[in-house]
Amino acid sequence: MFFADFKSAISDYGEGFKLLSQLRLWKFILVPALIALLVAAGIVWGSIELAPFIGGYIADIWPFSFWENTIRSIADFMGGALLVIFGIIVFRHVVMAFSGPFMTPISQKIEDHLRGQKTESEIGFMTSLVRSIRINVRNLLVEILATVPFMLLGLVPVFNILCTILIFFFGAYFAGFGNLDYTLERHYKYRDSVKWVQNHRGLATGNGTVFMLILLIPVIGILLVLPLSCAAATVSVVNNKN
C-alpha cells in the first residue's frame, strides 16, 4: 500500500502541472515565491552570522590543548552543517505555513474541476493561515525531534549515508503532509487530517520527495515548488478520499 501510494503521488505531479496551466493558476505563484525568497535570505544571513558561535561552542567541548586548530576547523564545519540542515527544515515549514492562504485557492479550484462541482466548504484567509501555521509548527517540532538522533548517529562514518537518507525521507514526509493539508482542511478537522495523512504515508512521502528534489533547483525550484506540489497533492487527495 505504501509503495503504491508513493508511486501514485509522484505520478500526480504530471496531472498537477497540466491543471495549473489549464486552469491558469500560475498567477498564485507570486506571493508564495516572495515569501520563500525572503525566508531563504533570512536563513542564509542567520546561518552566516551564527556558524562561528556554534562552531566555537562545539570546539570548547574539546578538553585538550593539542589539535586545537584542527578541532576548531572541524567544529566550524559541523556548526555550519547543523545550521544548514535546521535552516532547510525551518525554511520549508515557515514558507508552507505562511503560504497556506495562497495555496488554498489553487487546491480548491483544482478539486472543483476534478469533482465537476463546487466545494461546499470554503476556507477564509485567516482560518487557512491559522490552520496552516498550526499544522506546520506541529510538523516542525516532530521533524526536529526525529531528525536530531539521526544527525548525531550520522557523525559515525559507518552510518552517515544511511542517516542522510532517513533524514531526507523524514523531511519528505512532513513536506508532503503540509501539501496534502491544503486540500484536507476543507474536509477534516485538525486531528482527523493528521490521522488521514498517517493512514496515507505513501502519498505524503511521495509528494514530499518530489518537493524536496525540486527545491534543489536553484531559484526556479523555490519559485515553482509550492504551487506545483500543492496541485499534485490535491490530485492525490481527490483520487484517494472516500
Cα–Cα distances in Å, from 71 out to 49, 57, 79, 180?
Answer: 20, 11, 12, 44
Name the nearest CA neighbour of 20 among 143, 110, 141, 90: 110
> What pTM did the predictor assign?
0.86
Position 176 pLDDT exceeds 90: yes
Q: Which residue has the cell 481527490?
A: 238
C-alpha torsion sign, points 88, 137, 204, 165 = positive
* pLDDT reported for residue 134: 93
Percent of the chain with pLDDT over 90: 49
* pLDDT reported for residue 189: 92
- The C-alpha atoms of residue 40 and residue 84 are separated, in whole angstroms, by 11
Query: How many secondary structure helices (H) and strands (E) does the chain include?
Result: 8, 0
Burial category of 221 from C-beta neighbours within 10 Å (exposed 0-12, middle 13-18, buried 19 and up): middle
- The C-alpha atoms of residue 46 and residue 39 are separated, in whole angstroms, by 10
Q: Following CA atoms 112, 114, 117, 122 in sequence, which dihedral angle do they give, to the nearest 10 degrees? A: -20
Per-residue pLDDT, averaged over 133-139, amounts to: 94
Q: Which residue has the cell 585538550?
A: 64
Write the pLDDT tens digit of every residue in 45-92. Answer: 876 776 666 656 555 665 555 566 665 666 666 666 677 778 888 889
C-alpha torsion sign, points 77, 217, 225, 35 = positive
Position 106 pLDDT exceeds 90: yes
b/e sequence 69-93, b meaning 16+ C-beta within 10 Å: eebbeebbebbbebbebbbebbbbb
pLDDT bucket at 169, cuts 50 / 70 / 90: very high
Percent of the chain with pLDDT over 70: 83
Per-residue pLDDT, averaged over 27-33, amounts to: 85
Per-residue pLDDT, averaged over 11-16, amounts to: 96
| Contact criterion met (CB below 8 Å) for 5 and 200 | yes
* pLDDT reported for residue 52: 65
Per-residue pLDDT, averaged over 185-190, amounts to: 91
